[in-house]
A and B are shown apart, each in its own frame.
Chain A
Amino acid sequence: MVTREGFEEVVNNAFAGLGFSAEAAKYVFPLKMFLPGSDLNPIEKNIDKIIDGLTRWKPQEKGVAVPSTITVEGKDYQEMVDTMNLLFLKNRWSDGLPILPATEERVNWLLRGTDLSRDTIIGKILPRGGIATVEVIATAAAMAGCRPEYMPVMIAAMEAILDPIVYHQHMQTSTGDGAPAVIVNGPVARQIRLNSGYGCLAPSSVYPAGASIGRALRFLLMNVGGAIPGVGSMANYGGPARYTGLVFAEDEAGLPPDWEPLHVERGFPRASNTVTALAISGTTNVWEGAALDEKEALLSLNNFAGYMSVPYGAYFDAVFNREGTPGILLIGRTAAQGFSNLGWSKEKIKTYLWENTKLPQSEWLKKMVETKGVRMGLPVKDYVQYPMPIAASPRNIMIVVAGGAHSGHSFWVQVHGGTFGPATKEIKLPAGWTEHLKKAEEDLGPLPAF
């Protein structure tokens, strides 16, 4: 393999993720050699290395490599924790914020939150291909300050993220800025204190679950999956969503009676507990969302459409991808009720938005779409028409009721390019679930009212 400076670990990750030993036969050339009009002399000067890679290089044997535990020392507990945090920073296992020690005791405490054995394999996280067992998930959860009652959601979230339709490896390695959005439905959301209302995408002491679950997922994606900035992940900016993802609950209590919750739309029973994961990119506050009368409703919808129809690279996938979504529109409960009162069902809103977000032909759009189509080996002219819709059909636009009760703002969460769509998984609760909830109430007080 011929690769460039600064990309070697990405290549190592990719080989490891495919099941090979990470060290593959490759030659690394300077980045500038791959630019237009460059001097290609380094190739001739190093042709022997390429020949060696095809002839003399020795592949490694198969074998499982499980890292051992890490021992840290200090004069007291505080110093040990400080030492551990410095060590994690130096080894690129940290997100830059203080980490709790994943001691055997803490990990075992978290493992009580699931009936699955610690060795149960949930999947391999790409590009590195590290194996996410239940214990590895509990380790990340320990580092992030999770509680045992978060474990069922953590495991289901990991299953959803690893579903082939999410195509997490693109989110992990892309130069674009991808992170997981994780939407929880069902009674479990409130039980674990996951926010669906005011500030549902922001830090909260009253609803702490979202931040720590999201942070634990980031540790898994980074440390197990190898998405370390500039090494395994080439995201130009990364984006603030990478700290804790977007982990929140749908405001099911605030849904209008004729609006189905997300998990029911996706084929699950209303009473079930589910996680829906999607690779997302940008997030935008949309100033408006009220629907007190038809004029205001149309103003709001046209405003939503304005934000959603900013030409964005990930939309090209939507044209060729029947299951993909352009993103998630979050609408607060008051606005949702207003729309419903005026006869705007979710389906009617989706159809209106689909019709009013179509992108006019432009040289840039034409080039992007045709490049994508050629890359996918698809006959572009059979798929693309202008103006181009941002989704294959209206039903692909996701609408979720969440956020504060007042209707002045909504939120648009753009999909990350390269994903094929969202995945929904059922959350499996352990036999001792009510005991965990009782302990949570002792530790954190009664469940908040809203």
Chain B
Amino acid sequence: MDRTGIKGLGSVTMEVNHPAGGLEPTELHAPRVKDLSGKTICELSNGKWEDLRTFASIRESLQKRIPDVKIIPLTEFPVGSEQIDKESTIDLIVQKGCQAVITGNAA
């Protein structure tokens, strides 16, 4: 097998394939809402890392900032990484009229 490069004749170059392969985004992230006033936000949690505390704090901070935002807490949805990944959870989000979703928690 030939080796690329010639000894003693100065700088030589070699090209190698990139090891990472291509990436093909096939989905678009959901467009954002213009603002949160009067909107409904849903919470989806993996059930870990003190989620009841952190989501409650986010909820409280949002409501302080935007008094007419409606937030449906994580307890009204399935909890856990496998559960929130299901189509039935997405259906529930749509059914409850969520216009934005905050997911977490920490992982």
- Which A residues lie at the B interface, using CB under 8 A? 1-4, 7, 10, 16, 18-22, 24-25, 29, 31, 33-36, 38, 40, 43-44, 47, 50-51, 54-77, 80, 84, 88, 93, 101-107, 109, 125, 128-133, 135-136, 139-140, 142-143, 219, 223-224, 374-377
Total interface residues on B, CB under 8 Å, equals: 61
Question: Is the beta-carbon distance between A103 and B58 smaller than 8 angstroms?
Answer: no
Q: Pick the contact of B19 from A22, A76, A88 — CB < 8 Å? A: A88
Q: Pick the contact of B29 from A59, A64, A93, A109 — CB < 8 Å? A: A59
> Could you say which residues of chain B place their CB within 8 Å of the CB of A62?
25-28
> Could you say which residues of chain B place their CB within 8 Å of the CB of A44?
57, 60-61, 64
Question: Is the beta-carbon distance between B19 and A80 smaller than 8 angstroms?
Answer: no
Question: Hey, what's the 0/1 contact readout for B65-99 against A, CB within 8 Å counting as 1?
Answer: 11000000000001011110000000000000000
Inter-chain pairs besides A10-B107, A43-B58, A224-B19, 6 sampled, C-beta below 8 Å: A4-B49, A25-B32, A69-B18, A104-B17, A105-B2, A223-B21
| Interface hits, B5-36 → A, CB 8 Å | 5-8, 10-36
Question: Is the beta-carbon distance between A377 and B78 smaller than 8 angstroms?
Answer: yes
Interface majority SS on B: helix, strand, loop or mixed? Answer: loop
Question: Is the beta-carbon distance between A54 and B102 smaller than 8 angstroms?
Answer: yes
Nearest CB of A to B5, in Å: 4
- Which B residues lie at the A interface, using CB under 8 A? 1-8, 10-36, 41, 47, 49-50, 53-54, 57-58, 60-62, 64-66, 78, 80-83, 100, 102-107
CA distance A32 to B65 in the complex (A): 25
Q: Pick the contact of B65 from A51, A60, A224 — CB < 8 Å? A: A51
CA distance A7 to B104 in the complex (A): 12
- Nearest opposing residue in chain A for B27, CB measure: A19
CA distance A131 to B20 in the complex (A): 8
